[in-house]
Amino acid sequence: MSNRNKINRRKFLKVFGASAVASSAVLTSCKGVGPKGQETATGVHEPPKGKMTYRVNQHTGDRVSILGYGMMRLPTEDGTAARDSDAPIDQEMVNKQVDYAIEHGVNYFDTSPAYCKGKSEEATGIALHRHPRKSYYVATKMSNFSPDTWSREASIEMFHNSLKALQVDYIDYYLLHGIGMDGMEAFEGRYIKNGILDYLVEQRQKGIIRNLGFSYHGDVKVFDHLLSQNDKYHWDFVQIELNYLDWKFANEINERNTDAEFLYNELQKRNIPAVIMEPLLGGRLSNVPNPIAVQLKKRDPERSVASWAFRYAATRPGVLTLLSGMTYMEHLKDNLNSLCPLKPLTDVEMKFLEDDIAQQIMGFDTIPCNNCKYCMPCPYGVNIPAIFVHYNKIKNEGELPGLSTDDNYQKYRRQYLVSYDRRIPPDRQADHCIGCGQCIPHCPQQIMIPNELHKIDQFVEQLKQL
């Protein structure tokens, strides 16, 4: 594979994977160990049947479940998520989870030619084909990220391959995938110069695409441009990142991102339904710092921390569905419990999250790593995400050693050093970073990885001395 293709592939993975990680419910309580040693949740209540909340898409009258199934982290035969593994997809388990989702009212399934290393559409098609065609809506994408696929022929082939892999003769929701990545130039190359957007509009006229939209990441100029063309293209829906931290702070967290408040309101002005990705912000909103989790639990002891984030996004009336990449049955059950039915948040609760709780999270000053692993592998063996996750966890738990004169200093110091060695083998720790910078362009959170590793390494060295 050429170097250019490798880079394209990483970008490709970055776009589709980010939403997957983000929307997968990371369960924070009742954890157990899965069949192959993965952490899964146990003791999740059986969700009720017949209680799903639906939203009506005014463009087509579709009645869409508020929980959508993101097919980007499907289970594999080795018990991991297909995004992280080359093992074959566990089709039996996919079928079982799809059946369970449909039984509990989920009717929106979102895939892409890019997901699960190219295997998601076929697995989704096999699972859904066992159900009446009218009982589900399937969404897929023109994922022509690599310039090798920008030609008209290659893009049309991608579209036809999707129909074939999904075993359908029409697609309910079709998206231009990840517009905004690499700015206007890439957008023009992928969709305009090759005439593909016009081709897709024709497919909508023929009924082969029922709803045409786009998913947005990156340069807001492309988002603005496409909305300014709404009279011409009549977007049926748009997929955006929305959660209570990104509502007002997306741009502050990462200047490349746009606040969800702006994106959502622009869609609302034009009456365009929003499909939501990243309702949990890469799992960060199900794994909030302990003092924040305590406040959320106090306010509603029955609800999980993740459920607050799901309900925040789902409460907005312009939202058609929330996507969640659910690898394990426990993820699916927990999400169904949050949304069957949706108990909307009150205005006071919405403000509490987007002002009070979001402000507090911003103040915690953790490293904004969502463990997506796109920076890996490091050629020098450094386990970048494990080091950041370990640091954030201890910080979130309020057990980071501070001043050597603090009462708990010796206890926290010992704990940090012991758990650091236990979780990250010595030859993969921060001191092995040589600062080559190869990982930096791959981080969607734009973390200055070597700088953060250097700070952690200095911190660890300091702890060792005192």
Give the residues lining the site for ligand SF4 (CB under 6 A). 369-375, 378-380, 382, 384-385, 388, 433-439, 442-443, 445, 447, 449-450, 453
Shortest separation between residue 115's beta carbon and ligand SF4, angstroms:
18
**Cis previous bond, 377, omega within 30:** yes
The pair of structure tokens assigned to 122 is 């076929």
**Cis previous bond, 341, omega within 30:** yes
Q: Which burial class, exposed, middle or buried, applies to 230 when counting CB atoms under 10 A from its CB (0-12, 13-18, 19+)?
A: middle
Residue placing its CB nearer to ligand SF4 in the complex, 47 or 444: 444
Shortest separation between residue 387's beta carbon and ligand SF4, angstroms:
9
Shortest separation between residue 62's beta carbon and ligand SF4, angstroms:
34
Give the SS3 label for residue 167: coil
DSSP letter for 345, please. Answer: P
Residue placing its CB nearer to ligand SF4 in the complex, 337 or 370: 370
d(CA 387, CA 376): 12
Shortest separation between residue 255's beta carbon and ligand SF4, angstroms:
15
Return all residues near 5 (Cβ < 8 A) that are at least 6 apart.
146, 148
d(CA 349, CA 290): 19
DSSP letter for 75, please. Answer: B
Residue placing its CB nearer to ligand SF4 in the complex, 60 or 371: 371
Q: Centre a 10 Å sphere on the Cβ of residue 406 and count the other Cβ atoms it contains.
A: 12
Residue placing its CB nearer to ligand SF4 in the complex, 327 or 366: 366
- Residue showing tokens 């704990």: 415
Q: Which burial class, exposed, middle or buried, applies to 207 when counting CB atoms under 10 A from its CB (0-12, 13-18, 19+)?
A: exposed
Residue placing its CB nearer to ligand SF4 in the complex, 76 or 429: 429
Shortest separation between residue 435's beta carbon and ligand SF4, angstroms:
5
Shortest separation between residue 246's beta carbon and ligand SF4, angstroms:
15
Q: Cβ distance 24 to 80 under 8 Å? A: no
Shortest separation between residue 247's beta carbon and ligand SF4, angstroms:
20
Residue placing its CB nearer to ligand SF4 in the complex, 300 or 457: 457
CA 227 to chain centre: 23
The pair of structure tokens assigned to 364 is 């915690």
Shortest separation between residue 284's beta carbon and ligand SF4, angstroms:
10
Residue placing its CB nearer to ligand SF4 in the complex, 309 or 453: 453
Residue placing its CB nearer to ligand SF4 in the complex, 190 or 373: 373
Shortest separation between residue 161's beta carbon and ligand SF4, angstroms:
29
d(CA 144, CA 174): 13
Give the SS3 label for residue 213: strand
CA distances from 51 to 138, 299, 371, 375, 411 (A): 21, 24, 33, 41, 48
| Torsion sign across C-alpha atoms 215, 268, 311, 329 | negative
d(CA 407, CA 413): 11
Residue placing its CB nearer to ligand SF4 in the complex, 329 or 376: 376
Residue placing its CB nearer to ligand SF4 in the complex, 172 or 452: 452
Shortest separation between residue 14's beta carbon and ligand SF4, angstroms:
8
